[in-house]
Amino acid sequence: MEIEYESDWMSPTVELLKCLGEINKPEINEEMGSIDYVINEGDKKKLIRAMVDENQNSAPAYVDTIRATINELEEEKYDEALILSKRITDSAHDIVTQQDNLDVITPKMKHIFSLVEVLSAIQKKTRDLCVIKCGKAPETREDCQGKKGRTYTCDIRRISDDATFHATMKWKDVLFEDFYNLCAIEKELEVN
């Protein structure tokens, strides 16, 4: 995680998006008041725009934000765009609903991610964390030293196993918590 957002939900949401496609380095867009990412998924190009203030706190999306993003979609040939914002005005939301290739996520809005996408992001994040912590990702369950019998000695392994169960039960909100917990472990590992 290169940029730390001062938001309980924005950093993990950006991390989840990064796990779902090849992503470029973030660019600070001072004109828009955002941090922009471009995700390449095959031959599709997706703009991720995280609205922030000068202190990296999540900021609202207004009509001018939405209109400028729509123009950029056309000019830069993006297939779609996703705006992450603290909140969105009703007028701005009305404009978003008229666009097929534009979506917004706020802390109060439901995530647009499917169960499969969240689980895929958890699996990628788990592999990456295993490499950071242990030097390699295990190829089989038996290769992992994070569980001895019924006792977990590694939070990464425990969360990974929990996520498998949560996906089986189709508990998407709990899967998001699993992913957020992996992000917290990653942050902790980066500090050490």
| Between residues 142 and 70, the one the model is more confident about | 70
The pLDDT of residue 63: 96
Please indicate, yes or no, if residue 63 is contained in any of the structural domains. yes
Q: For the chain, what is the domain count? A: 2
Q: How far is CA 55 from CA 3, 49, 141, 164, in A?
A: 12, 16, 42, 37
Residue 5 lies in a domain: no
Do 71 and 100 fall into the same domain? yes
Verify that 99 and 14 share a domain, yes or no. Answer: yes
* Average pLDDT rounded to a whole number, residues 122-144: 91
Average pLDDT, integer, range 115-120 = 90
Which of residues 74, 105, 136 is at a domain's end? 105
Query: For the whole model, what pTM was predicted?
Result: 0.75
Shared domain check, 94 and 137:
no
Does 32 reside within a domain? yes
Question: Which domain, by its residues, includes 79?
Answer: 10-105
Residue 2 in any domain: the answer is no
- 101 and 153 belong to one structural domain: no
The reported pLDDT for the residue numbered 160 is 93
Residues 185 and 120 in one domain: yes
Q: Answer whether residue 1 shows pLDDT above 50.
A: no
Residues 125 and 173 in one domain: yes
Give the domain-ending residue among 105, 123, 144.
Answer: 105
Structural domain ending residue among the three candidates 53, 74, 105 = 105
- Percent of the chain scored above 70 by pLDDT? 95
16 shares its domain with 91: yes
Same domain, 69 and 123: no
Give per-residue pLDDT as tens, 49-72.
Answer: 999 998 888 899 999 999 999 999
Q: Are both 76 and 35 inside the same structural domain?
A: yes
4/175: higher pLDDT: 175
Assigned domain for 182 exists: yes
171 within domain boundaries: yes
Domain assignment present for residue 3? The answer is no
Residue at 79 is within a domain: yes
Greatest mean pLDDT range, 11-15, 23-27, 130-134, 141-145 = 130-134
Distances (CA, A) of 164 to 13, 83, 108, 170: 20, 29, 26, 10
Minimal CA–CA distance to 181: which of 88, 118, 107, 115? 118
Residues 154, 97 share a domain: no
E-strand spans in the chain?
Answer: 22-23, 27-29, 34-41, 44-51, 80-84, 102-105, 147-148, 151-152
My answer on whether 187 and 121 are in the same domain is yes
Rg (CA), the chain: 18
